[in-house]
Amino acid sequence: MARKTIFISDFTSQEIADDKQSAIITVRFGDGRRGVIVADAHIDDKIVQEIAKVGRQEARRGRRPKSE
């Protein structure tokens, strides 16, 4: 029997049908003892738009992907 995984936004309970419609929000505290908090979100959620507006984009790390 095949199973299908369905992703749901943690903020609005909206179903995320495609990987291109998803966002992962990660909160890292300055205090290492508090750990890391991760939440799944839909890109149309208000919270994602607010974070994108005030946040800054960070450069990707690691090797560049191979050009096709």
Q: 32-58 pLDDT, tens per residue? A: 889 999 999 999 999 999 999 999 888
The token pair that represents 67 in the structure block: 């050009």
- Enumerate the domain spans of the chain: 7-54
- The 3-state DSSP class for residue 63 equals coil
pTM score: 0.69
Give the pLDDT confidence score for residue 38 in this predicted structure: 94
Provide the 3-class DSSP secondary structure of residue 67.
coil
Can you tell me the distance from the alpha carbon of 40 to that of 47, in angstroms, rounded to the nearest whole number? 11
**Cα(45)–Cα(5) distance, integer angstroms:** 21
What is the per-residue pLDDT across 6-40, written as a single tens digit (0 to 9) for each?
Answer: 889 999 988 988 888 899 999 989 888 899 999 99
First to last CA, the chain: 37
The answer to whether residues 15 and 5 touch, using CB atoms and an 8 Å cutoff, is: no
